[in-house]
Amino acid sequence: MPAPAPKSRHSRNTTMPRHPNYLPNGVIPAILLPFNDDLTIDERAFRSHIRDVGATEGISALTINAHSTEVASCSFDEQRRVLDIAQDEIGAALPLVHGIWADGSLEAARIAKMAAVGGASALLVFPPAPFTMGQNAGMALAHFRRIADATDLPLIAFQYPLATGQGYPKDTLLRLCDEIPTLRAIKDWSNDVPQHEWHVRTLQSLPRPVTVLSTHSAWLMSSLVLGCNGLLSGSGSVIADLQARLFRAVQGNDLAEARRLNDRINPMARVFYADPAVDMHNRMKEALVLLGKLPRAVVRPPLVKIESAEIERIRLALIEAGLLGANERRDAA
């Protein structure tokens, strides 16, 4: 019998991405993960939520297993189940961006392999928590190289504010863009306007352009007019249509339409991104309950249900945004 053919570099992935030519750009909502009262995943509600957001005109992909799906509270197997459900519901129609949330690079590579096998089209790489105690370029490069060696999927670097210790300084970011060929975008949460503009002007003009996806959802219009080639936002789980229309208006230099849409987005941004920021996706779940799109707004500890007064502020914001009638009332479960 002939000897078996040698394994190629790509043989480590038994499944190709369902959208193999996808590069991160455009409007990418990060969806939520509903739970039952016993804190298990509510698969029926999750499927409905995926279909609802995925049907939005003008979006380019969906993000899963990230902040918005409470990934820090999900096991490896639960993350794989989230990916399987999302693939089953929408994977043929839309690319899926899969978060890589891990404090260590070996675990990050393991998650990356799982996501690739499951058919994800890109990976959103969160900075490891130890970086809060200090980092250097060598550490950042080592982390990304482990992930890039595990899969050829396009990578999105999640750029945190520098003050957190998890943001990448300019020199480190440029080295990542130069030395990690599969790094194709950043999710920009620098929360600093001059730095954000530097990202847009510099990274998108590199010989191998790196797309800037804004996640400055509290001031989205101001961010997009700087020239971002996309956005990746948890509030897209609630207002994907408004965000897609805003992005289209900015891209088309239609300032009047952009301002009109921003006036509708602003009430939601005020309530979603109030202090403490850790409750942002908690609030989005409550909004979807109020809209009749989720049966309950259960979060996993250490998160806890928000107070009724805050839920009322969310209801009033939905009315102001034109998303809910003034006389509509639904109990947030």
Domain ranges of the chain: 17-255
Res 16: pLDDT: 53
Res 6: pLDDT: 34
Res 206: pLDDT: 98
Res 5: pLDDT: 35
Res 328: pLDDT: 73
What is the total residue count of the chain? 333
Cα–Cα dist 278/275, whole Å: 8
Q: What is the pLDDT along the chain (333 residues), one digit of tens a residue?
A: 333 333 333 333 445 557 989 999 999 999 999 999 999 999 999 999 999 999 999 999 999 999 999 999 999 999 999 999 999 999 999 999 999 999 999 999 999 999 999 999 999 999 999 999 999 999 999 999 999 999 999 999 999 999 999 999 999 999 999 999 999 999 999 999 999 999 999 999 999 999 999 999 999 999 999 999 999 999 999 999 999 999 999 999 999 999 999 999 999 999 999 999 999 999 999 999 999 999 999 999 999 999 999 999 999 999 999 999 987 766 555
Res 18: pLDDT: 79
Res 178: pLDDT: 98
Q: Which tokens in the block code for residue 160? A: 């945190």
Check residue 59 and report its DSSP letter.
B
Res 15: pLDDT: 53
- Dihedral sign (CA 206, 211, 214, 220): positive
Check residue 148 and report its DSSP letter.
H
Cα–Cα dist 273/157, whole Å: 22
Residue type, 240: A
| E strands, 88-182, in order | 96-100, 122-125, 155-159
**Virtual torsion, Cα 149, 94, 233, 32, nearest 10 deg:** -100
Res 11: pLDDT: 34
CATH topology of domain 17-255: TIM Barrel (3.20.20)
Res 327: pLDDT: 79
Q: Which tokens in the block code for residue 234? A: 């948890």
Cβ contact 115:81 at 8 Å: no
Q: Residue 138: is it exposed, middle or buried by C-beta count within 10 angstroms (0-12/13-18/19+)? A: exposed
Res 4: pLDDT: 37
